[in-house]
Amino acid sequence: MKTVSYSLLHLILLVSPMLAEDQTKTSSANPTMPQPQITLSEEEWKKRLTEEQYRVTRTAGTERPYGKIYEEFEKQGEGTYYCVCCGVELFTSKEKFHSGCGWPSFYDASTAKNVLERADHSHGMVRVETLCKRCGAHLGHVFEGESVSANTPTKRRFCINGVALHYVPKGGEAPKLLELGSGAVEKKKEALAKEAGVPVSKP
């Protein structure tokens, strides 16, 4: 019994500094990378989003090109594009252009400046990933110096998954912003309700 306890303690002592070091490494590797203001658990995101929205925005997935959402995007007129996860403004129709790539394309983010860019080395490529600054949703990537964006003011193509966007036509009502820390608040509410209504069961 003593041996077991000792082994466990030994393991904890070994693992703890590794975890602490990892955290330091993450923060020092991206000193300027702002942390998302909204941090819901994976379960909470799954509850709020459709399966495809969750796959793309929370697991850095990519939607099929030339899909139904893209077809709709191509037809949309003046309006604003909000984050499907947290409701913050990301793009407007002013920066939209037809690139023919099969995904919604913009040459710039909206003036609200809620789109974050960071290096992405996944799938053996060097790309720049775009994310929602407020909730960390994966939106897509941004490419520079291509012929398709040569005639745009920025010469950049924000290649965005349509499923990550919530379109509101000009004059329409903006979506309600997901409250900051609502995940934690909901959890606390659930815990309080449990405490008040249901007697705490002990195993």
Of 109, 150, 112, 147, the C-alpha closest to 128 is 109
Residue 137 binds to Zn ion (criterion: CB under 5 A):
yes
Q: Which of 85, 115, 139, 142 binds Zn ion (CB under 5 A)?
A: 85
Per CB under 5 A, the list member of 40, 49, 69, 86 interacting with Zn ion is 86
Give the rounded distance of the alpha carbon of 185 from its chain centre.
20
Return the H-helix or E-strand segment holding 16.
helix 2-29
Footprint (CB under 5 A) of Zn ion, residues 25-84: 83
Rounded least distance, CB 180 to Zn ion, Å = 11
Q: How far is the CB of 157 from Zn ion (least distance, A)?
A: 21
Here's the x/- map for Zn ion, 96-135, by CB under 5 A: it reads as ------------------------------------x-xx
Cα dihedral 71/154/85/188 (nearest 10)? 180
From the list 16-24, 86-94, 117-125, 187-195, the region that binds Zn ion by CB under 5 A is 86-94
The vertex-189 CA angle with 188 and 190, nearest 5°, equals 90
The catalytic position among 83, 132, 135, 159 is: 159
Q: Which is nearer to Zn ion, 112 or 148 (CB)?
A: 112
Hey, is 143 helix, strand or coil? strand
The answer to whether 159 is a known catalytic residue is yes
Min dist CB 20 to Zn ion, Å, is 30
In the chain, % helix, strand, coil (3-state, to 5) comes to 40, 20, 40
Number of other residues whose CB lies within 10 A of the CB of residue 91: 27
The CA-atom distances, in angstroms, between 42 and each of 54, 137, 158, 167 are 9, 12, 26, 24
Q: How far is the CB of 176 from Zn ion (least distance, A)?
A: 13
Nearer to Zn ion, 49 or 86 (CB): 86
CB of 44 to Zn ion, least distance (A): 14
Q: Decide: 57 and 130 in contact? Cβ < 8 Å.
A: no
Q: Which residues are catalytic?
A: 159
Residues that bind Zn ion (CB under 5 A): 83, 85-86, 132, 134-135, 137
